[in-house]
Amino acid sequence: MELARQRDIQILGIVENMAGYACADCDEIQPLFPGDAGEQLASAYDTVLLGRIPFDAEAAVHANTGALDQLMNHTLAGEAIDAVALQLLEAIA
């Protein structure tokens, strides 16, 4: 963040990675780490939290095999990535 600011690179927002995990049994996002690091970082740098991407073992399998359509269309991580992408499109439009 500091390097981006020093170089006058526009910061569009924060994306928190591994923000919880996708529960295979209940299809909900459960906490992986305590706290709200993404929100704190966004606040500290006066920017927005664009989204929180959960660790998703199913998404990792799809990513490793190159099945990005499966990742994006059939996983909780894919849903979160899609939501961040939409916010980024709005920010640069």
Over residues 14-67, the pLDDT tens digits come to: 999 989 887 778 878 888 888 899 999 999 999 999 999 998 888 999 999 999
Domain count, the chain: 1
Q: In what order do the strands lie in the sheet with 14-22?
A: 29-30, 14-22, 49-55
Euclidean distance between CA atoms 90 and 8, whole angstroms: 21
Q: Which domain holds residue 44?
A: 2-92
Euclidean distance between CA atoms 86 and 82, whole angstroms: 6
Euclidean distance between CA atoms 21 and 2, whole angstroms: 28
Euclidean distance between CA atoms 49 and 37, whole angstroms: 10
Which pLDDT value is given to residue 22?
77
Which pLDDT value is given to residue 35?
85
Q: How confident is the model at residue 7 (pLDDT cuts 50, 70, 90)?
A: very high
Q: Is the pLDDT at 73 greater than 90, yes or no?
A: yes
